[in-house]
Amino acid sequence: MYATLRDPPQLRRLALRQSGVVSRRQLSSLGVGKASVASQISARRWQAPTRSTLLLHNTTPTRRQLMWIAVLEAGPAAALGAHTSLELCGFRGFAREAQSIHLVIARGCKTAPLPGVVVHESRRLIDSRRRKYQGLPCVDLASSTIDAAAWQRWPRFAVTLLAASVQQRLCAPDELDAALALAGRVRHKRYLRLALADIRGGAESLGEIDVAALCRRFQLMPPSRQRIRRDPGGRRRYLDCEWDLADGSVVVLEIDGTHHHLVEHWEADMQRERKLVISRRWVLRATASEVRLEPAGLATDLIDMGVPRLPSP
């Protein structure tokens, strides 16, 4: 696969393990001298993308090779982190942030600037946080999730990222809670702590977290049942919440996303709402934006419908 790797055989194994990227120090330890390296570069069989690393072919590096170049150039104290660690473990979403390669180095260390690589200094980059994902040195998933959330500009995006990592089964709430406790003073920590409390209680979507926040803010009893609806493609779309009232009736809150403006969803929603009314349920509907941005009016309507209040402390 890589040119002139027949001797020594350890170099071929190293190149295959590191996607064709090696450091000059590694080459030296395998007995490959500077003259041999210079000859390969002169013949355009190899490339030197940085002063410390070599790419053992002459074509454009892949994204995986760029990750190896970043960590090898930064040295043994570096690790991929945040969105890049999550990417290597299959995380979906936040495409804009995932375009960059996120590299974490110990505070005070230096590395050469590389196109597309965002460098973060950390006081907490210790060996206990390092893992290998697809062979690459990375910050562990829980810490990477907390870092990625804390580096979001807006708290809502931070909370969404936290919920998505649990929903996609990458992290457990307890793991995230422990990582947040070790993170020290980070951006959005209060919001992340509240979101984790909701997620630990079973909330995995932003809609569920919004409903939990609404109930907490206006001292309403949490819903006795919450259901995530899925569209024909299997995607999570909106949330139903139900409260059992003292007279035996049930109040249902349906939270609709933007897809409900489509005719096919609108008709299906009407059919399902008729079934709910027939079963003696009171149906209230709200958009996800209303729950998020205008909760006071919705809380008033829920109280008027008889949703019980939490007892005063």
pLDDT given for residue 249 in this prediction: 86
Q: How far apart are CA 90 and CA 258, in angstroms?
A: 27
- The answer to whether the pTM exceeds 0.85 is no
Task: Please check whether residues 100 and 179 belong to one and the same domain.
Answer: yes
Provide the number of structural domains found in the chain.
Answer: 3
Task: Please check whether residues 94 and 57 belong to one and the same domain.
Answer: no
Per-residue confidence at 12, pLDDT binned at 50, 70, 90? confident
Mean pLDDT for all residues in the chain: 82
pLDDT given for residue 127 in this prediction: 72
pLDDT given for residue 61 in this prediction: 93
pLDDT given for residue 25 in this prediction: 94
Q: Under a CB-based contact definition with an 8 Å cutoff, are residues 187 and 159 in contact?
A: no
Q: How far apart are CA 274 and CA 281, in angstroms?
A: 10
Instruction: State yes or no: pLDDT of 259 exceeds 60.
Output: no
Task: Please check whether residues 81 and 196 belong to one and the same domain.
Answer: yes
Instruction: State yes or no: pLDDT of 258 exceeds 60.
Output: no
Task: Please check whether residues 163 and 262 belong to one and the same domain.
Answer: no
> What are 99-124's pLDDT values in tens digits?
899 999 988 888 888 999 999 988 77
Domain interval for residue 46: 9-61
pLDDT given for residue 153 in this prediction: 85
Q: How far apart are CA 125 and CA 222, in angstroms?
A: 39
Task: Please check whether residues 72 and 53 belong to one and the same domain.
Answer: no
Give the mean pLDDT of 271-287: 64
Per-residue confidence at 202, pLDDT binned at 50, 70, 90? low
